[in-house]
Amino acid sequence: MTLTVVGWADVFTRKNHKEAIINALNYCRENKGLVIFAYCLMSNHLHMIVNCNEPHLLKNTIRDFKKFTSKEIIAQIESEPESRREWLLSLFASAAAMSKKHKNYRFWQEGNHAIELYSEKFVWDKINYIHQNPVEEKFVTKAEDWIYSSATNYAGLESVLEVEILQQRLITYN
């Protein structure tokens, strides 16, 4: 699934906003049954391969995650040093004005761009796509150098977020 900031605004260029996302994912993992298999936080979107343990429902956990992180990051923008404060708040206010569900600000675009993963090959295609995102954008030369990604976990390196590492079977795909 992919969660995208409205207007594709590059919010996650600031450490405090990235940490808000990582902290919220940790909370959901520890308290709301979220199982994270892979993720990558880019400057304006978050890719994840996730599921939820019962009795939790993934749709409810993601809804709560989006609601909490929206409020948290808006509060950071309003109260902490931010050179783009007026522009970001204006963008989020405009997005809220076009929505019946949002009063003051809308941070995340509607929907989650969720895709069902139907085979092991497709899962690994998506994990590789997610991990290669920062490489494709030329932020890093190796996927495992992007610390806000599970590529670090899969490479056996120190990570900012614990994930459930999937084991790839040695299968030849045609």
CB 49 within 8 A of CB 127: yes
- Residue 171 pLDDT greater than 60, yes or no: no
Q: What is the pLDDT of residue 143?
A: 97
Span 84-119, pLDDT tens digits: 999 999 999 999 999 888 789 999 999 877 777 778
Q: Of the candidates 66, 163, 64, 79, which has an alpha carbon nearest to the alpha carbon of residue 106? A: 66
pTM of the predicted protein model: 0.91
Q: From CA 117, how far away is CA 121, in angstroms rounded?
A: 9
pLDDT at 118: 72
Long-range CB contacts (within 8 A, 24+) of 149-156: 149/39, 149/40, 149/41, 150/36, 150/37, 150/38, 150/39, 150/40, 151/40, 154/38, 154/127
Under DSSP, is residue 4 helix (H, G, I), strand (E, B) or coil?
Answer: strand
pLDDT digits (tens, 9 = 90+) for 22-77: 999 999 999 999 999 999 999 999 999 999 999 999 999 999 999 999 999 999 99
Q: Copy the structure tokens of residue 170.
A: 């040695």
* CATH 2.60.120 assigned to 2-116: no
Segments making up each domain of the chain, as ranges: 2-116
